[in-house]
Amino acid sequence: MKYINMKRISLWLFLMGVIAGCNPVTTNTNNTETRSADQAAVAASQSGNTEAALALATKSAVPFDAKAKPLTLAYIPQENPEKLIGDIKVISKYLESQLGFPVKGYVTQDHAAAVEALRSGEADVSFMGGLPYVLAHRQVGAEAILSEVYRGKPIYHGRIFVRKDSGINKVQDLKGKSIAFADPISESGYLYPLDIFVRAGLIQRQADPQTYFKRVYFAGGYQQALQAVVNGYADAAGVSQYTDLTLLPEEFQQIKWIAESTPIPSHQVSVRKGLEPDRIQAFRTAMLKLNQPEYKVLLKYVYNPDGYVEASHKDYASVEKMAYQYGFLKPEVAK
């Protein structure tokens, strides 16, 4: 599409964040004591204790083969990458206990890099949004296997956020203003928020957004884009509806949203073409196990959804349709 190569202005240098656990457990040979310990571990994990959940996972661990080929997971930087690096260590420890072989994870530079990782085989599995997924499906044969669930449904929305003290109350007020998006191939961090302006008749579909805005930024992630608004570097941010939950309480009070997109299929987990079926099934089973009460605390280490459900390519048909409409995908020409 014509405007995808616009100058990307990095805001990450202005933005910072922090965040960063696990002790082995020993199994008591006395059946009564073991059962009591298990019950206590379940209770602790259900109360939000990460170490207890990992200990519980270790108790049900399958035999571990340290020499086996690692399963490599790619994570898009929709949150502060420093936080994600710490999260990856925790969820990888859980997955290793369930899979029985090494698990590695890393944060990609952007959404396009996540697609390329599936192409090159650098990653076996990728956590990504619907738009990069449909591109990966077309370009490299990736397949969706899981969708995130929020508030009982595998859908969410993109929103336009502004500061409460900005005097901006509707999208029409943003003409000649600056806006920060997450990534040029993000559905809730670009495509669907942009579609809000198209549906309002303010921008022509496939036109350069800078015909309406003074400046367009791609900040590298949801949190980074919204922080740009909080810190006064952009007038608005087009990001996921849940991005404001990443803010500090005092920052949250400074932000409001003024418009919401049409429903978007949730972020998904996809696998590269050619990944062994037994590995796919084992990974899917381990991820779905996070829905169980005793393991739910670990969901906060994989972008913090409410849970996961099984998914397939057809669940992303609406994103694929939008990708065609905006020129991200071109109709295949019969040879």
pLDDT digits (tens, 9 = 90+) for 104-133: 999 999 999 999 999 999 999 999 999 999
Is residue 230 domain-shared with residue 286, that is, in the same domain?
Answer: no
- What pLDDT, on a 0 to 100 scale, did the predictor assign at position 48? 60
- Compute the Cα dihedral for 211, 134, 270, 112 and give only its sign: negative
Query: Which of 256 and 245 is assigned the larger pLDDT?
Result: 256
The one-letter code for the residue type at 82 is E
The least confident of 31-35, 85-89, 202-206, 227-231 is 31-35
Q: Which domain holds residue 7?
A: 2-14+156-264
In this structure, what CATH number is given to the domain that contains residue 231? 3.40.190.10
pTM (2 d.p.): 0.81
Is residue 63 domain-shared with residue 160, that is, in the same domain?
Answer: no
- What pLDDT, on a 0 to 100 scale, did the predictor assign at position 52? 85
Is residue 105 domain-shared with residue 183, that is, in the same domain?
Answer: no
Last residue of a domain, one of 237, 264, 291: 264
276: tokens are 């062994």
